[in-house]
Amino acid sequence: MLIGELAALTGATRKAIRLYEAQGLLPVPQRRGNYRVYQPMDVHLVSMIRRAQTVGFSLAELKELAVLKAASGSFPLAVAQQLIRQKQRHFQQELQRLQALQQQLAQLETELAQNYGAAPVSCS
């Protein structure tokens, strides 16, 4: 399949697909003249890259997986699981930070209401 079909099947732009190739996230496609020819597995790879990006992974983080896959010939599931756990911990820490900020805002609102006589507005 050509790049346009790969783009249509995955929702990725042609520019994004070329970027994934340049960054080593996709194997170098075969050529038919001036055209890149992609394999069915590339649909899965591009879809996985896009899905990983939507949950917060950067291309740099995904590159580690691509390098290990290329070196071993198989998908490094254990490494992927470890990266997912790290991302989950990061999100949990960020969630705690945001909850603390929300509490501080509520306290500020209460203090303002007490000092200036207005009733606090709930931020729930």
Give the number of other CB atoms < 10 A from CB of residue 36.
19
- Position 88 scores a pLDDT of 96
Q: Please provide the average confidence, as pLDDT, over all residues in the chain.
A: 90
Q: Give the mean pLDDT of 92-99.
A: 97
Which tokens in the block code for residue 104? Answer: 């501080």
Is the confidence at residue 123, as pLDDT, over 70?
A: no
- As a whole number, mean pLDDT of residues 80-96 equals 95
Q: Check pLDDT > 80 for residue 77.
A: yes
pLDDT attached to residue 27: 86
For the stretch 13-29, pLDDT in tens is: 999 999 999 998 998 89
